[in-house]
Structure 1
């Protein structure tokens, strides 16, 4: 276990590690509910900010939890940690709950972090200076955080809208943070589909031309035709059934963090997050935050049309979900969020 003082140092080291997970944690001061391990793919990106805030602000501690956050290069790796039992809970894309149900693995979303994917795809201006349309990416390498991750799915969705298939390009997992930026700049990939602040950095530095943007509610709604739930806290049904008090405490902390995020000043955020999250540029980080701020859930509730929208999008990408029978009611519950809202008056 690491102290809060060591947290920043570990975060800086984790930005340089693409494939090996770094474990970030803080000790709980209010014992009672025990230890919970949460797996996340790229904690430093804004997509996972509510989880980071619940940890940094001590909200997990105040709920009596000893939370250990295991940070992986991508969401698919974090998901695998949950499935193989090395992590109790995951922080990642809601669509995992749908895709895994089809494969016989039952997961349930507890609290929604984001109301839009907060992801964009950019084409390298250096590698493809004459880029004109998505079909120009045929045969090219597209970087994503990890194969099977939300960044991968969103890239496939964008290509499908242009009449392209997944096999028309080559997807490469490049991790998050500094490694993802380096992969684009060094030519390892010709395009990158990723979250902020990474994409805002590359956009402002004129490294990429943005060709698909899901970082605003309007942009996401136009692309998906409805509310597309994104980041969430999820867990296997077995964990939910065996640890109801921990599930409620985790949800309480996330809802508390979302409430803080609604009124926090940018200066408050900068003081709180580790320096490695900023990618060396405070102003850029704040610009990225301002862009995606509206997409964070104000209360953690799953929107009424969210699950159906996600299922429809998955069906269009040619995944194994297409044509499968899915019980959406078993992929999420607003029960714990409703209780948390009463506690924190959200």
Structure 2
């Protein structure tokens, strides 16, 4: 039986109850009090160095976020996952996003990750390049009848190669395009002389320099190439989310982008170079390649140099023109439709 005095909340009991409650709150793990944001990464891709730093150095936690990685191997897979609400934010090049939006996928660009074109055209050491000294135009002339590897037939990478030829005034009707996939398989195909050149991305340029098995003929990361390719610099790799998520969770998006900004600033600080390299090695597995340390160091340096959080709205015009010209979308997309109004 309960005694009457046990039902009375005396001052002493009140203090004891408050202390007990505070103890329970303190016992709740910190992550349980943070907002969850699920974002996509391409497995092991060095472009996510900024994301790795966001988590490793506590920038997500500082913004009150529990940043959860969802590994998805391609842009289309990520778009499907976003539609199914199994991921909140996804990342891809702008051309992939605009093609999806043109087909009714209600995605919006919410911020930039990498400012400029990430691709480069690398030529195998076995290929004669008598016109290499002439630069971009000469390199394209030397490849006019060669086998060029692209990620997939009909992909944007194939269209970029055709644009490189057209911009140099060199016919590409004798070129043979071969699907070679992403950087690891593309580089292997070039080494095996299955192709003469490849349009790919990091770490291929660093591998070429370290091994001397190939050379970078056109580096679009550095603004090389024709005007229609250059017009796509200003927001090339971008973060996206479904419109309904943007409208409902704008606060989370802004916190995520602030965490990214802080990670970028940390990466640019020279005193963090050694720790940056260690974080990169934890996630980026290069495998057994010659001059491995040199390659990783170069890839990290070049990746940090490509980061940029500010989106230039004019880049939409450049992508629209490229995609319409190459019949990858039917008509230009309105910047107000596809870009979040508060995107940096």
| Category of TM-score, reference length = shorter chain | 0.7 to 0.9
Alignment counterpart, residue 335 of structure 2, candidates 324, 328, 334: 328
Q: Does 1:283 align with 2:289?
A: no
What does residue range 100-139 of structure 1 map to in structure 2 within 5 Å?
Answer: 100-126=100-126, 128-129=127-128, 133-134=139-140, 136=143, 138=145
How has the CA–CA distance of structure 1 residues 42 and 122 changed in structure 2, closer, same or farther, with 3 Å as cutoff? farther
Cα deviation digits, residues 275-322 of structure 1 (max 9, x gap)? 56263522222223434544321xx12124222222233334x13336
Alpha carbons of structure 1 residues 219 and 31: separation in structure 2 relative to 1, 3 Å: farther
CA RMSD of aligned residues (A): 3.4
Q: Distance in 2 between matches of 1:93 and 1:134?
A: 24
Q: Which runs of 5+ in 1 are unaligned?
A: 1-27, 338-346
Deviations 1:54-89 (A, max 9, x none): 2333333443224123141x4454445435554332
Q: What's the offset of the Cα at 1:112?
A: 0.8
- C-alpha separation in 2, matches of 1:301 and 1:161: 28
- Alignment-derived partner of residue 8 in structure 2: none
1:219 maps to 2:227: no
Larger Rg: 2
Counterparts in 2 of 1:86 and 1:282: CA distance versus 1, 3 Å: same
Which residue of 2 is the match for residue 296 of structure 1? 307
Name the CA distance, whole Å, in 2 between partners of 1:275 and 1:66: 18
Q: Give the conservation status (yes or no) of the 8 Å contact 1:99–1:321.
A: yes
User: Paired residue for 2:32?
Assistant: 31
Equivalent in the alignment of 1:53: 53
Q: CA deviation at 1:236?
A: 1.6
- Structure 2: which 5+ runs fail to align? 1-28, 132-138
Which residue matches 1:307?
Answer: 316
Gap change, CA 1:306 and 1:143, over 3 Å in 2? closer
Cα distance, 1:220 vs. partner?
A: 6.8
Tell me which protein shows more helix as a share of its residues. Answer: 2
Distance in 1 (alpha carbons) for counterparts of 2:140 and 2:65: 49
Residue 234 of structure 1, CA deviation: 0.9
Map 1:184-195 onto structure 2 (within 5 A): 184-195=190-201
Structure 2 counterpart of 1:245: 251
Deviations 1:21-68 (A, max 9, x none): xxxxxxx952345544323335423x3432333233333344322412
Question: Which 4+ stretches in 1 moved above 6 angstroms?
Answer: none
